[in-house]
Structure formats: C-alpha cells, structure tokens
Structure 1
Amino acid sequence: MKKNKPKYKQIIDAAVEVIAENGYHASQVSKIAKKAGVADGTIYLYFKNKEDILVSLFQEKMGQFVERIKEDIEKKDNASDKLYSLIQMHFRQLAENHNLAIVTQLELRQSNKDLRLKINDVLKGYLGIVDEILKEGIEEGLYHPEINIKLVRQMIFGTLDEVVTNWVMKEQRYNLVSQTKDVHHFITNGLIK
C-alpha cells in the first residue's frame, strides 16, 4: 500500500510546509517535490494531483489524530474528562505543528466545493467521537437529556475551530493549549451563573 512507503510521508510533510508557506494555489507540485527531496514525477506515483495531496494530507493527519484521541479517552472515567481531553488534544495537535494549523485553518477553507466535501468526509470520524462523548454524558446524567446531539456537536467543533483559527490569525502569540480549561468550562456550563 502506498501509505506505508517512506516517500509518502515525506511528501505529505513537505506539502504541509509548502502549502503553509505559499498558500495552496501558489504551491506547485514541483515545490512540494523539491521540499520532499524527490523528483516531480515521483509525486505522481503516490498522488493524482495537487488536490489529491491536500485531501491525503488531511486524511493522514486527521486519521492519526482520531486514533490518538480514541486511545486517550479510553483511559478517562467520564464524559467530562473525555471532552476535556479531546479539547486539549485538538489544541495541542495544532499548537505543535503551526504549519499544519495554517493549512487546516486557512488553506482548506479556500478550496473548491468538491474538495471541501472530501474533507468533511474525513471529519466524520472525529465528529463521531464527539457524538459518543455527548451520548455518554447524557447517560451519566452530566448533560441535559434533551440536547440535540448533532447541533451541540457542531457547536463544540465550531468553538474549537474558531479558537484555533483566531490563534493562527494572531500569529500564535499566546499559548493555545492554555485555553483548554476555559473552553471546556464554557462548553459544559454555558452562560449560566
């Protein structure tokens, strides 16, 4: 399988850097190849085109992220701790790789509709974890039994996404991971006094 070949990962990592530095539209396949230390033609052994590189990059990074979240939350005792962990890991993943943060928060949004649909498809695994945490929280009596899980899931993802986007736009001038406690508190307690 192509994904297990060492050059696949090299190309993915190079693409993150090149797209973060130049923007998706100005990132030629030749620049990605040069950064990866491979011939231009080698790229096409692994990917159909630049769009395929972007989708594969997101699949690869999001897949790794979802696996790490699943492993981590299995060790937690309740839905609140699982949600806290998910928020913290979401922030940490992007804080540790600012190029990836630029690509996910800025470049993926400028893509065409077909590309966005493929990216939304990749997000399903992540959103499924949020759904499970919410269902567990309802069963544990932590969350209101009548919440609209799909809507609350969108609100949680939207909140995390906006916090990261703001951090990227402010050129990472503050500690993103330190926002975890406040974001978790707001999501679980809302605006009630």
Structure 2
Amino acid sequence: MKKDKPKYKQIIDAAIIVIAENGYHQSQVSKIAKQAGVADGTIYLYFKNKEDILISVFEEKMEVFVENLQQIIEIDASASEKLFKMIENHFSVLASDHHLATVTQLELRQSNLALRLRINTILKNYLILLDSILREGIENGEFEQIIDIRLARQMIFGTIDETTTTWVMNEYKYNLVDLTPKVHRLLLNAIKA
C-alpha cells in the first residue's frame, strides 16, 4: 500500500505547505517535489496527479480528526462533554498547523465538483461520529427528543467550520481553541433538552 512507502508522508506534508503558501492552482507538482526533497518522478510513484495529492492530503488529515473523535466518543462522559471535546479537538488540530488550516478551509473549497464530492465522502465518517454523540444525547435526555439529527449535524459542523474559516481569513490573529467554550455554549443552547 502506498501509505506505507517512506516518502508518502513526506510528500503529503510538503504538499500542505506548498498548497497553503501558493494556492492549489499555482502549486505545481515540481514545487511539491522540491519541498519534499524528492525528484518530480517520485511523486508519480505515489500519486496520479495534483488532484490525487489534494484528495490524499484531506484523507490523511481527516483520519486524525476521525481517530481523535472515535477516542472522545469512547470516554466516560456526557454527550455534552463529548461535544465540547469534539469542538476543542477540531480547533486544536487546525490551530497547531496553520498550513493545514489554510488548505482545508480555503484551498479545498476552490476545487471542482468531482473533487468536492470525493471530499464529502471522506468527511462522512467524521459526521457519522458526530451523529452518534447527538443520538447519545437524545437517548439520555440531555438533548431535545425532537431534534432533527441531520439538521443539528449541519448546524454543529457548519458552525465549527465557519468559525475556523473566519480565523484563517483573519490570519490566525487570535486563539482559535479559546473559542471552544463560547461555540459549545451556543450550540448546546440550540439542542439541549
């Protein structure tokens, strides 16, 4: 599998930097290769094209969000606390890597429809985990019994996502993670029983 090959992660990390600094459309494969310290041809041993690199970047980094959220779901805590930890984790991962935040919040949005559909498929696992927190909260009486899970998921993810995008657009001038309690309170007020 290509992910086990030694230069795969090196290329992914280089692609995040190059795409964040130059924009997806101005990021030639040769720039990514140079940043990764590999020959141009080496890139093609791992990826079909630049689009494949962008998808792989998202897949690779989304796995981190999914794995972290999976661990959060398994802790012995209320659904409300799990929601807090989810928001905090989402902000923490992106706050710790400004290049990644720029790629996920700005560059991925400029991609074509086919690419966005692939990105939505990757995102689905994360959203399924969010649904499980919502279901748990409904079942234990923390959240409204009548909430529409799909709508609540869109509201929660949309709020987290837009808060992050605004932070990126403001050039990371403030601490994103510090917004966790405020975002959590607003969302909780909308869904709590």
Q: TM-score of the superposition, structure 1-length normalised?
A: 0.97
Gaps of 5+ in 1: none
Is the 1:76–1:82 contact (alpha carbons within 8 Å) kept by the matching residues of 2? no
- Specify the alignment match of 1:99 in structure 2: 99
Question: Aligned partners of 1:172 and 1:88: how far apart in 2?
Answer: 16
Write out per-residue CA displacement over residues 24-78 of structure 1, whole angstroms, 9 at most, x where no aligned residue.
0000000000000000000000000000000000000001221122113311421
Match of 1:61 in 2: 61
1:18 counterpart residue number: 18
Q: Offset of 1:191 from its aligned partner?
A: 10
Amino acid in the other structure paired with 1:82: K
Kindly provide the amino acid, as one letter, of the partner of residue 122 in structure 2.
V
Aligned mates of 1:85, 1:76 — CA distance in 2:
12
**Displacement of 1:5:** 1.4
Contact 2:73-2:133 within 8 A present in 1 as well: no
Structure 1 residue 180: Cα displacement: 0.3
Provide the rounded CA distance (Å) in 2 between the counterparts of 1:12 and 1:51: 12
In 1, Cα distance between equivalents of 2:12 and 2:161: 22
Give the aligned residue type for 1:126.
Answer: Y
How well do the aligned residues superpose, as a CA RMSD in angstroms?
A: 1.2
2: CA distance between counterparts of 1:147 and 1:104? Answer: 29
Moved over 6 A (4+): none
Partner of 1:124: 124
| C-alpha contact 1:15 1:53 (8 A) present in aligned 2 | yes
137-146 vs 75-84, which moves further: 75-84
Deviation digits for residues 69-125 of structure 1 (CA, Å, limit 9, x no counterpart): 211331142100110000000000000000000000000000000000000000001
- Residue correspondence of structure 1 range 7-86 to structure 2 within 5 A: 7-86=7-86
The separation in 2 between residues aligned to 1:4 and 1:82, in whole angstroms, is 32
State the percentage of identical aligned residues.
64
Is the 2:33–2:43 Cα contact (8 Å) retained in structure 1? yes
Deviations 1:112-145 (A, max 9, x none): 0000000000000110011000000000101111
Give the distance between the partners of 2:83 and 2:73, measured in 1 at CA: 8
TM-aligned CA deviation for residue 184 of structure 1: 0.4
- Aligned residue type for 1:79: A
Secondary structure of residue in 2 paired with 1:190: helix
Unaligned 5+ segments in structure 2 are none
Residue identity in the other structure for 1:128: I
DSSP-derived class of the 2:24 partner: coil
CA distance in 2, matches of 1:47, 1:76: 41
TM-score (norm 2): 0.97
Question: Which residue of 2 is the match for residue 171 of structure 1?
Answer: 171
Q: How many residues align?
A: 192
Whole-angstrom CA distance in 1 between matches of 2:32 and 2:76:
40
Letter of the 1:44 counterpart: Y
Q: Which residue of 1 aligns with 2:151?
A: 151
1:72 counterpart letter in structure 2: I
